[in-house]
Structure 1
Amino acid sequence: MPPRLTYFDGASRFRIDQQIINSIAGNQYQILNAGEDLTRRLNPILDASHTRNRKKSPPDSECFPGTREQPIREIIFWVDSGEVMHISTYVTIKTPHIYWLHGFAGCGKSSISLEVAKIFAKSGRLLASYFFFRGAGDRGTMERFTVTLAGQLVAAIPATAPLVEAAVKAQPGLVTGDASLATQLDLLLLSPFQTVVEAGILEEALARGRFLIVIDGLDECEDKSSVEEFIDHLLDFFKKHPTIPLRVFIASRVEQHIRARLEVDGVRLGNLDSHWPGEDIEKFLQGSFQAVAKRDRVIRATSSISVT
């Protein structure tokens, strides 16, 4: 008979360093890391970020190598720029914290969102990413939007974990859907990030540039009123905290409830329809031709033919 762990008799849930000990039954205990316990409580959507399996969780789109370089460069420049000179008035203005990339369905917005998220994840400056998709359960609503972003925040910046955990403990409604979207955004995402920034914890990371949140397919969210609340709260937050080193990139189709709130001061607009993809199409055709030529000697023999 195995010896009993008598030190913890009568205890049901306690912490040793960064571990949570749960007494299940008899002499059986469940041991969790504090971070794992917080993730369980947040219950984020696991297939909503840029790292999801796109075959199972669409949209399944990505940039062909070497394409969409101009809009991607513009987005990167926007994240890292502080002030810009207005060409016609020569007045220096602050760079907006929000970038709205819009365009018609199928023009490549999600591919660009994915590429931008990957670039900033590689540099350690991606705070979170979320890809809405209509008809995909919770990914098509705002129900678990903020807790999913919070889960990624904690993973990207572990120093925010105690702050998020304290907020959840003080207000359980933050993870049960009983708190407003604005309250969730403040206590689970924006305030924890702001606190670690002001504490100087992110000095090394911020030396490389600002942090970024990528939100793709906002028009795919079925709850229009929540979308409006989300945008309004972001605009209000950045108005109150103009120096916070955070940018939010949003990609969507042009829909009235989004357009009415994002075509304002404080938002940089990017019209993907204005980027003629002729050069990208040529690169795609040439790359596809070369890939096929490697497998087919007949086509390889005609590889001197250029694509125009």
Structure 2
Amino acid sequence: MENTRQDIFTQIEHWAKDLSGPNILWINGFPGAGKSAIASSAVAHFRASHRLGSFFFFERSKALSQTPSALWRRVAYDLSQIYPTARNMIVAKLKEDEAVVSTANIIQLFNELVRLPLSSKVEFPAGRMPIVVIDALDECGGLDGSRSIYRRHLLNTIKQWSYLQPSFKLLVTSRIENDISQVFQSISDSVVSIELFTGSSVSLKSASDIGFYLSNSFAEVRNEYSSLSALEWPGVEAIKALTDQAAGLFIWAKTIVDFVKEGDPTEQLEQILLGNLSKGSIDELYCLILKIAFKNPSPKVKKAIQMITGTIIAVKTPVSSNDVLALYPSVILPIMMEYVCRGLKSVLAADSITLQFSHQSFIDFLTCSQKCPPEYRFQASVQNQQLCIACLELMESNLCFNICRLQTSHLCNDDVPDINKLVQKYIPSQLHYACHFWADHLGQTQYEERIIKDIQRFIYTKFLFWLEVLSLTKKMQLCSMALTQVATWVEVSIGLFLYMQ
């Protein structure tokens, strides 16, 4: 929100203008401290001042597409668009070696398309030295976290950035995690660190900013209700109490505001104030929201909540509510889908056509918090097994010969008139997902005889039709990868099964 975090932005501006000082700024803090909001505001500011070189926001749910390679290709492209001299060097490198843009060697890609062009005698306009912004570095690699090879490669390239001239700036936000902290400590001479304190260490300025945010947000709510517009609802004491409970966590304050907007605002807020929440405990807040949204849920509702939230976490690329309904047609009905999504509205991304949680902290709550009710807790092997079976059943029901109703098989796909429209019409998004990712979910599934039989039936009756979909969606490279995963899974799973007998 405008007029908040001014102390932080003053420090960012000082770092950005110091062209002889450290060239990396690491903004770090616990989940919900406001790192991404600061990064978004910084991007807008640098763009307005003509210093934005590039920006990249990692999301854990998009780990397959948001890779270090994608990051540095984006940076190289953006730099070439803004700075002609950099463009000349990057184009020359691509002419010399076209394969570099698709290399699996991320260090090579970074060095040849980013580091070398910036290290050479490239002329940049005075006052327009580029600043690159990377948000949520800790979300690179998805749920694998520090175990992810993607994340290790990314951290290595950030170390390489520290060897560039001080005038080439890199702003990074992340949580404070061991592998990330160790890398920044190893290049400490090139790094300025800003920690966003929360809990008992929260600064008076951060607390004031949260109070300002709450006051303005509740004023917007108040203006929507004529019965509240003449009052000073919720009052200074309530704002003060909520600010104190937030303990520096902007996501805590935002979640409260979103929750209050989802019903009678006075009643919603009263339930929060009477909840006796610990200071800064986002997990306790999520527990209370689930308890209020789903009062005395039946076993069927609990199962639906766990399946829907688990699917949002486990899918390899974001899916829509219609995709979830198509994957579980006999388990989750439309009315149940609508009911669950309505109850989760305060933690779902508001402006997304796909189902995504608005903040990583809610995923953490479901996956590893001891405060999460057991009936809602994410179970990776169970969820991946459900998705694997759902994908196999969906392909069994929908794959067929000549799925796009092509008039002839004598043309290459790209030569077929309106091929993209045909693919979109006849291969719905849920079938698209099932064909691309069923084997990925299989690889994270425990042995079950039913799955062996489903795979056997799929290979015997639908294999060629699956290949057709991979060809039409330009993903034929997934075939060998999927079959390798199947072979490995069968070998390991049957071996373990026989060992246990």
TM-score bucket (shorter structure): 0.5 to 0.7
Name the aligned partner's letter for residue 261 of structure 1. Answer: V
Shift of 1:65: 2.2
TM-score normalized with structure 2 length: 0.41
Task: State whether structure 2 residue 175 is matched by structure 1 residue 248.
Answer: no
Which residue among 196, 203, 209 is the counterpart of 1:272? 196
Partner of 1:68: 5
Partner of 2:37: 111
Shift of 1:255: 1.6
The answer to whether the 8 Å contact 1:79/1:210 transfers is no
Distance 1:102 1:139 in 2: 24
Shift of 1:111: 0.8
Partner of 1:169: 95
The alpha-carbon distance between structure 1 residues 188 and 285, as it changes in their structure 2 partners (threshold 3 A), is: same
Structure 2: tracts of 5 or more residues without a match: 142-149, 241-501
Q: Which has the higher contact order (CA 8 A, sep 6+)?
A: 1
Largest Rg, 1 or 2 = 2
Name the aligned partner's letter for residue 90 of structure 2. Answer: V
Shift of 1:162: 2.5
TM-score normalized with structure 1 length: 0.66
The alpha-carbon distance between structure 1 residues 138 and 159, as it changes in their structure 2 partners (threshold 3 A), is: farther
Shift of 1:139: 4.2
The answer to whether the 8 Å contact 2:86/2:122 transfers is no
The alpha-carbon distance between structure 1 residues 275 and 74, as it changes in their structure 2 partners (threshold 3 A), is: farther
The answer to whether the 8 Å contact 1:134/1:221 transfers is yes
Partner of 1:181: 106
Distance 1:71 1:149 in 2: 25
Task: State whether structure 2 residue 158 is matched by structure 1 residue 221.
Answer: no
Partner of 2:482: none
Name the aligned partner's letter for residue 221 of structure 1. Answer: C
Question: Deviation string for 1:194-225 (max 9, x for gaps)?
Answer: 54xx454x33xx23x54211011111112232
Identity of aligned residues (%): 24
Task: State whether structure 2 residue 68 is matched by structure 1 residue 142.
Answer: yes
The answer to whether the 8 Å contact 2:27/2:35 transfers is yes
Name the aligned partner's letter for residue 110 of structure 2. Answer: L
Task: State whether structure 2 residue 94 is matched by structure 1 residue 157.
Answer: no
The answer to whether the 8 Å contact 2:107/2:153 transfers is no
Name the aligned partner's letter for residue 282 of structure 1. Answer: G
SS at match of 1:302: coil
Partner of 2:116: 191
The answer to whether the 8 Å contact 1:182/1:229 transfers is yes
Task: State whether structure 2 residue 228 is matched by structure 1 residue 299.
Answer: yes
The answer to whether the 8 Å contact 1:132/1:139 transfers is no
Which residue among 226, 233, 241 is the counterpart of 2:160? 233
Deviating above 6 A after TM superposition, structure 1's stretches of 4 or more consecutive aligned residues are none
Distance 2:4 2:14 in 1: 17
Shift of 1:76: 1.4
Matches within 5 A, 1:3-22: none
The alpha-carbon distance between structure 1 residues 231 and 104, as it changes in their structure 2 partners (threshold 3 A), is: same
Shift of 1:275: 5.1
Name the aligned partner's letter for residue 16 of structure 2. Answer: V
Shift of 1:140: 4.0
Question: Deviation string for 1:224-253 (max 9, x for gaps)?
Answer: 320231122122x23xx34xx211111111
The alpha-carbon distance between structure 1 residues 275 and 211, as it changes in their structure 2 partners (threshold 3 A), is: farther
Partner of 2:414: none
The answer to whether the 8 Å contact 1:104/1:253 transfers is yes
The answer to whether the 8 Å contact 2:69/2:109 transfers is no
Matches within 5 A, 1:281-292: 281-292=210-221
The answer to whether the 8 Å contact 2:24/2:169 transfers is yes
Partner of 1:97: 23
Shift of 1:183: 2.6
Task: State whether structure 2 residue 41 is matched by structure 1 residue 124.
Answer: no
Aligned residue-pair number? 222
Structure with the bigger percentage of helix: 2
The answer to whether the 8 Å contact 2:26/2:171 transfers is yes
Distance 1:130 1:145 in 2: 6
Distance 1:144 1:131 in 2: 11
Structure with the bigger percentage of strand: 1
The alpha-carbon distance between structure 1 residues 280 and 229, as it changes in their structure 2 partners (threshold 3 A), is: same
Distance 1:290 1:213 in 2: 36
Distance 1:227 1:175 in 2: 16
CA RMSD, Structure 1 to Structure 2 (Å): 2.2
Shift of 1:129: 0.5
The alpha-carbon distance between structure 1 residues 199 and 192, as it changes in their structure 2 partners (threshold 3 A), is: closer
The answer to whether the 8 Å contact 1:181/1:229 transfers is no
The alpha-carbon distance between structure 1 residues 160 and 210, as it changes in their structure 2 partners (threshold 3 A), is: closer
